[in-house]
Amino acid sequence: MRIDGRTRLAGVIGWPVEHSLSPAMHNAAYETLGLNWVYVPLPVASHKALFAVVEALRVLPFVGFNVTMPYKQVMLELCDETATLAEMAGAVNTVQCVDDRLIGYNTDGRGLLESLQTDVGFDPADASVAVIGAGGAAGAAVTAFVLAKAARIAIVNRDVSHAEGLKERMSGHLHGTTVSTYALDAAEEAIRDADLVVNATPLGMRPEDPSPLPATWLRRGHVVQDMVYGACQTALLRDAQQAGARAVDGLGLLVAQGALAIDIWAAGDSGQVRAPRDVMRAAAEAAAEQVGVRNGGEAT
């Protein structure tokens, strides 16, 4: 890594961010690609501070930045322009800085599809999918499955009104996909009937967190994707393995969404490149092992 007067910056905004594996995997990718960039964590403790930081990033030499919890949804309102996928998801996790303007994207959904294909060879086309949660991560997941032409999507949330709001946001984009909403206590049949079950809630970020759903709802034949990553296996994934399901943690998603962010930034700054997913995954795994990550994170 070199740092000089021409070095460009990137980073991740969130609170907390000390657990993030993104700096390790991004900086490894930049070195491999020969980019004179450096990626740094940007801990921002409040919404008031977020507004000040975002304004500063407009004029600092940033190619872009990522956004993680708890700011993905509010970031949608702070960008000058947002991509359609971000609008559909209701959240921004990747921002490109162009001439003092902020262009918002959501790479979580495409990253999820890439991870499912790479890690377990799963294609959601014509499949039945259950998404647990109704926040920004869930919005990205549902958006991805709509665009991938899943046959049915069940949105499951403790507060069903939030699930209904997400369904409504998708209403003009469905093109044959059926979307249903369920309160958690009424979702057993929808979960059991799904081909793919996705946890898009924060449950699992701490080692002591319970699973977002009862273990008895999982079965052999399920693919169970947790959008949370960390050194400790989540309760959901332990239950999935015990039920004979294929269990996938959030590391592949972390890598894929970060790689897609680099692809976006590099296209605007240095020309078309493809971020090296294998290098990024190795760096993320090494960083997790080195620091002994116990608490997990969302895939940014």
In whole angstroms, what is the distance from residue 169 CA to residue 189 CA?
Answer: 24
Find the catalytic residue in 48, 72, 149, 167: 72
Note if 72 is an active site residue.
Answer: yes
CA dihedral 102, 104, 105, 108 (to 10 degrees): 110
Q: How far, in Å, CA of 69 to CA of 106, rounded?
A: 14
CB 122 within 8 A of CB 196: yes
Strand 81-82 relative to strand 37-43, pairing:
unpaired
**Nearest in space to 78 (alpha carbons), one of 51, 106, 46, 45:** 51
Cβ atoms of residues 89 and 118 within 8 Å: no
Please answer whether residues 239 and 216 qualify as being in contact, where contact means their C-beta atoms are separated by less than 8 angstroms: no
Distances (CA, A) of 223 to 120, 188, 210: 8, 16, 19
First-to-last C-alpha distance (Å) of the chain = 22
Instruction: Compute the Cα dihedral for 28, 203, 206, 16 and give only its sign.
Output: positive
How far is the C-alpha of 229 from the C-alpha of 137, rounded, in Å?
Answer: 13
- CA-nearest of 201, 227, 205 to 295 is 205
Asked if residues 129 and 145 have their Cβ atoms less than 8 Å apart, the reply is yes
Q: Using an 8 Å Cβ cutoff, are 177 and 151 in contact?
A: yes
Give the count of alpha carbons within 13 A of 76, CB side only. 18
Catalytic residues: 72
